[in-house]
Amino acid sequence: MKEKILEKAMDMYLKLGFKSVTMDDIAQEMGISKKTIYQHYANKTDLVTEVATLLVNKISCDIDTIYAEKHNAIKELFEIRRYLKTTLDDQYMAPVHQLNKYYPEVALSVKSSQFDKMHESVKDNLNRGIEEGLYRPDIDPEFISRIYFNGITGIKDSAVFPDELYTRTQTTKMYLEYHVRAIGTLKGTEMLEEYLKES
């Protein structure tokens, strides 16, 4: 039952927002009593935390599948972007904003978890890109990985990138181009331009 509650809550939170959906709403949707939910989750914050953690873990596992496909470093970035665009498109940004606004401690924990999972993967991408001759050999993968994470999470900030000026699809594509042009070799930027035409 706990897993069913978690799955239903995730579905409703993503569609309607973390703030908008109450424990009563989840219970009614599932045809169970609110008491049943509280047998498994002490309060809504606990449920929101588990949903956010589950979502991060699911995305991480899906991205690991892309890593396992052994694309070249630049193609890998575009494949991850394509996956995220189809899985977490603009309709999911409102719940993320609500998470940041109404559950800041949960959002901070999620961001920390995202960084832990992403940091080593991005460093691996950078090192492979250097080996493949796509990224410059003089870059610092440790530093660039941190900059990349800060940028890719920062472009989701609607105060800086308002929805009326940029769609999520535009910002991710522009940021990916910015990232690769900053570190790419001539071979890498030529490959980038081909992938940009396809995306």
Question: Contact 119/146 with Cβ under 8 angstroms?
Answer: yes
* Of 198, 189, 188, the residue nearest 78 (C-alpha): 198
Question: Contact 147/128 with Cβ under 8 angstroms?
Answer: no
- pLDDT score for 197: 92
- pLDDT score for 6: 96
Looking up tokens 């927002």 gives 17
- pLDDT score for 59: 86
Question: Contact 73/194 with Cβ under 8 angstroms?
Answer: no
- pLDDT score for 186: 98
Q: What's the CA gap between 45 and 71, in Å, rounded?
A: 39
- pLDDT score for 88: 66
Domains of the chain (ranges plus CATH)? 56-198 (1.10.357.10)
- pLDDT score for 199: 81
- pLDDT score for 86: 80
- pLDDT score for 91: 54
- Local confidence pLDDT in tens for the 199 residues of the chain: 999 999 999 999 988 889 889 999 999 999 999 999 999 999 999 999 999 999 888 888 999 999 999 999 999 999 999 988 887 655 566 677 788 889 999 999 988 988 988 999 999 999 999 999 999 999 999 999 999 999 998 998 888 998 899 888 899 999 999 999 999 999 999 999 999 998 8
Q: At residue 9, what are phi and psi to the nearest 5 degrees?
A: -60, -45
